[in-house]
Structure 1
Amino acid sequence: MADELGTLECRDLTKAFGGIPVLKGISLSLAPGTITALAGENGAGKSTLMKIASGQYRPDSGEVLVRGERLPSGNPQAAYRLGVAIVPQELASVLEMTVYENIFIGRELSGPFGLRRRAMIESARQILHVFGVDIEPTRRMGSLPVGLRQIVEIVKATNTGARVILLDEPSSAIAEREVGKLIEVMRTLRDRGVALLFTTHKMEEMRALADRVLVLRDGELVLDEALRNLTDDDIVTAMIGRELEGLFPALPEPGTEAVLEIDNLHVSGAAAPLSLTVRRGEIVGLAGLVGAGRTELLETVFGIRKSTAGSIRVKGTTIKGGTPAAAIAARMAFVPEDRKGAGAVLSMSVLDNATLPRMDKFSVGGLLRQGFRRSQVREAMDAVKLRSRGLDQSMETLSGGNQQKVVLARWLTSPVDVLILDEPTRGVDVGARSEIYRIIVDLAEQGMAVVMASSDMPEILSLSHRALVLRNGIIAGELDSEQLAHPGVQDTIFRLASGLEGIESSDPDPADPSTNNQKDN
């Protein structure tokens, strides 16, 4: 059915970079009016496949057909003319231009007296309305949140007449409240006969959207099946090549010693000061909606943001100065949410990235102690089972999971008492995610006090000894391990995070923190 309207077909695609095979004979077909999920671990070949299908890369062998017509190799304009559009993870929006200018870029309406701006504005308004998107077309693109910019990019693709849309990690950088709108837009496109292919690491997104699942592993297509015929375990096993026995490891019993003590800390933008205690070996999860103040709290504790009042103590000693250097000296470590922007220098090697937080340890008189730093960094990377070609490998050539391992492990070259994690598995595939969970639990078992902010509810529920729900920068509720295991806890967390009242019940709900002591242990 390769000549059916909207169908894209890939036949025996191969691609190698530097002699290393990335795609090994991939064949697939996308039918109109369907949504297909493309899954696989980082480095499996998903992005390469999409770039070939959209004309950006030239395959070493094989071909791509769109509605029966062969796509010229490495020709994005030809793909565009044939109705294939790609919405990359790194959006191509022109932020200084308006929404309607972005939608019509390269296809502007003009008349005898110049651009027909009113016509473009009205047309943009109508097409946005079709997708249920309430955005004023004259708004500057840069003023929109990332999620809405992503939707505008999708709308722009449909406005060009695209019948096949490829989306690379469409929800990876957008707020939870915007994911629902993205799902609505994708379903509308499917109902209009568009064929959609999207990559994701999130099982819940596959369940919400996909008719079919394709899984790549090591450049090979190992699964092509209707979603209704698959369990989550089937998909995970196909992705990693083995059964994943328990995504989350068992949590060790925390100690009683208070390691991190935060007293009346004033975080910029928070509704009130905050106090918190974390014990040795304890993992405290921070839950909340986007904008709840989790990142702001973590960055203030580590000294990235300034606080106007309050105190922070590590093992009874007050941290003075309120700077990252002071936090590091107090044996604190911080893994930021933005791995690529704030956590690592991708153009540098594994060795150089691992050296950055502790340059003073690895240098004397301005000269690096090469042998010493290599041995220390190698030991740290071995501890997290880093998969790399060696310490001199560039960070940008590592998978997302291995990049995250480097960002985490570089702190292990010296003792750490407090480990601060902001979205530790964002953009990480399920196989690497399982490994990172085990690293976090192992570090807690060694005695570190861990504070972890996460938007992934299973992480909060399964990786925390205790969870704090933040709203407007303050603690709206606290749940212990018993409460986190309660079937109704997700609804409780949402109600606390959004400011709604607790669930009404004739009996006290064990998952309702309003019926429990909320003081720090």
Structure 2
Amino acid sequence: MVQTLLECSGITKSFGGVPVLKGVDLRLEPGTVTALAGENGAGKSTLMKIVSGQYSADDGTVSVHGSALAPGNPRDAVRHGVAIVPQELASIEDMTVYENLFVGRELRRGPFLNRRAMIAEARETLGVFDVAISPTARMGSLPVGLRQIVEIVKAARTGARVVMLDEPTSAISEREVEGLYRIVRRLRDQGVAMVYTTHKMAEIRAIADRVVVLRDGGLILDTPIDEVTDDEIVTAMIGRELDALFPQRPEPGTDTVLEVRDLQVDGASGPVSFSVRAGEIVGLAGLVGAGRTELLEAIFGARRSTSGSVQVRGRPVKRNQPAAAITAGMAMVPEDRKLNGAVLSMSVLDNGSLPRLSAFSLAGWLRGKARSTAVSDVMSSVRLRSRGLGQEVGTLSGGNQQKVVLARWLTGDVSVLLLDEPTRGVDVGARSEIYRIITEFAANGMAVLMASSDMPEIVGLSHRAFVMRAGQLVGELDRDALDHPAVQESVFRLATALDEAPTDAPENQEAAS
């Protein structure tokens, strides 16, 4: 029988009288990766902070090898081999890698720091995990993914037997994710019990031996990963069937709202032509680098196009001028809401009025009441969950941040909505609300053009979809094609030119003969 390494029993926690955890039980075994899944607000981070001693539970116990941890005592958790790598990294960016690895545990020779010994040991430790980082590199010079790996190695170097990672891929690239997986698997093979919080199905399948799902503070699912389907995990997370994620698509109209003709995006291999009708949701599928983002930005005027035309309701829109696109009735929700979509340090009110400040101005003065009323109305229409218009957007959940970026365009007339990865970084439950908002926009007559790398999203929302490759449209899928079981294979073949024969094949055959 496998011995339990860490056990949580009946963990209960409330904040301000609001229950966050409701009698949660959790057992971790050595040499396993447990995916702790759930929507934002499910209680995942709170549970990990209780285990690591950052919070005290109102009721319940945490024990390691049968020895109870002192509540709310991080040092006791560390002494028992429990480490946490938070979503917001705690590394000291102005210090070197080796200094971060040894902070609080410095090697000394008499009264002096033994830097040579620390550098040598840091190099050896990093080498054990196949991490190609110089120990003398400044932490702030490393990408987020490598800084995260240093934090994990630091936990392992201190002898941690339980390592908890809180949303570890939220701010790193796909290439860095593979490096993270490699470190997690290495620690698992060394007998460490790993906890990996996420709401991404691909990550759960790629890394977990077991999946635990929290919903509304309660334990809903706890099972080996090979004994549960994706649909069952999602249903446990959101409390309803996966099909309920996507609302019924509205019937599109007959009037063309957006018309793109021979638009040559700077850097694309050829021009693009298509149209979108009122009430229609058109998807843009393709591989990374296919040119979907570039096309949306060019239509909106935020990326240079060298020729062609864009029309909204039959009227031409000046190319390369976002202000002209906004005036014509276009709205754009960018891929990276934190970088290009919302100003995180500003309030909901300020973000909600950013695209149309002139509409709330009179003789150079803001009409405060009119602005507050308009922003309040549109935020209510998307069911924004916030403490009020004065709350900083950066303190909202990912789903509510995206609602702010979507809703702020509704303070004016919008005919065309351009969406770039509309649910990236948004948990499963919040996705359902985003999808509802998008379909409501379409039902009100907007033409929606949506780029997404999530095929279920393309299939679930779109009336039809285009496949892109090298900046061009290489295929169109109608509703019947989107409903076909082999739709993913069809998209992949179009996106990779898998079915296209090499252009020099006839010449090669003649030469061979």
Instruction: Flag whether TM exceeds 0.5 (same fold).
Output: yes
Contact 2:264–2:272 (8 Å) recurs in 1: no
TM-score computed with the length of structure 1 as normaliser:
0.81
- How do residues 310-389 of structure 1 correspond to structure 2 at under 5 angstroms? 310-320=308-318, 322-389=320-387
Q: 1:98 to 1:390 in 2, by over 3 A?
A: closer
The alignment yields a C-alpha RMSD, in angstroms, of 3.6
In structure 2, what is the Cα distance between the partners aligned to 1:13 and 1:415? Answer: 50
Q: How does 1:431-442 map to 2 (within 5 A)?
A: 431-442=429-440
Corresponding residue for residue 269 of structure 2: 272
CA distance in 2, matches of 1:18, 1:396: 22
Once residues 95 and 298 of structure 2 are traced to their aligned partners in structure 1, the CA distance between those partners, rounded to angstroms, is 34
1:419 deviates by 0.7
Quick check: 50-59 or 429-438, which moved more? 50-59
Contact 1:128/1:135, CA 8 A, preserved across alignment: no
SS at match of 1:408: helix
8 Å CA contact 2:85, 2:151 repeated in 1: yes
For 2:490 and 2:95, locate their aligned partners in 1 and report how far apart those are by CA, in whole Å. 42
Which deviations, in whole Å up to 9, do the C-alpha atoms of 1:397-426 show, x marking residues without a partner?
543323322221221222211111122112
Instruction: Name 1:410's counterpart in structure 2.
Output: 408
> Would you say the 8 A contact 1:212–1:224 is kept in 2?
yes
1:54 equivalenced with 2:52 (yes/no) = yes
Taking the aligned partners of 1:443 and 1:361, their CA distance within structure 2 comes to 21
Offset at 1:94?
5.9
2:280 aligned with 1:282, yes or no?
Answer: yes
Aligned partner of residue 244 in structure 2, secondary structure: coil
Structure 2 match to 1:444: 442
Q: For 1:142 and 1:290, how far apart are their aligned partners in 2?
A: 28
- Taking a change above 3 Å as real, the CA distance of residues 72 and 336 of structure 1, as seen in their structure-2 partners, is farther
- Structure 1 unaligned spans of 5+: 505-521
Shift of 1:137: 7.1
Q: Hey, what does 2:505 align to over in structure 1?
A: none
C-alpha spacing 1:487/1:443, structure 2 compared with 1 (3 Å): same
C-alpha separation in 2, matches of 1:141 and 1:495: 42
Please give the secondary structure, in 1, of the residue aligned with 2:359: coil
State the one-letter code of the partner of 2:498.
Answer: E
Match of 1:128 in 2: 129
CA distance in 1, matches of 2:97, 2:293: 29
Name the CA distance, whole Å, in 2 between partners of 1:365 and 1:326: 22
The letter of the residue matching 1:332 is: M
* Structure 1 segment 62-141 matched on structure 2, within 5 A: 62-92=60-90, 114-116=115-117, 119-120=120-121, 122-124=123-125, 126-129=127-130
Q: Residue type matched to 2:440 in 1? A: D
Q: Distance in 2 between matches of 1:140 and 1:262?
A: 48
Contact 2:263 2:273 in 1 (8 A): no
Match of residue 159 from structure 1: 157
Counterpart position of 1:460: 458
Look up the equivalent residue of 2:233 and give its one-letter code.
Answer: I
Q: Which amino acid aligns with 2:455?
A: M
From 479, 482, 500, the equivalent of 1:481 is: 479
2:127 partner letter: Q
Q: CA deviation at 1:169?
A: 2.0
Contact 2:418 2:449 (8 Å CA) reproduced: yes
The aligned counterpart of 1:510 is none
> Which residue of 467, 491, 494 corresponds with 1:493?
491
Mean CA deviation greater in 306-315 or 327-336: 306-315
Q: Structure 2 regions of 5+ residues with no counterpart?
A: 502-513
Separation in structure 2 between the aligned mates of residue 41 and residue 265 of structure 1, nearest angstrom: 40
Identical pairs, percent: 64
Q: Tell me if the contact between 1:127 and 1:155 (Cα under 8 Å) persists in the aligned partners.
A: no
2: CA distance, partners of 1:321 / 1:472: 21
CA offsets 1:240-269 (integer angstroms, 9 cap, x no match) = 34455532234334345443334454545x
The residue number in structure 1 matching 2:292 is 294
State the shift of 1:331 in Å.
Answer: 1.0
| Length, aligned pairs only | 497
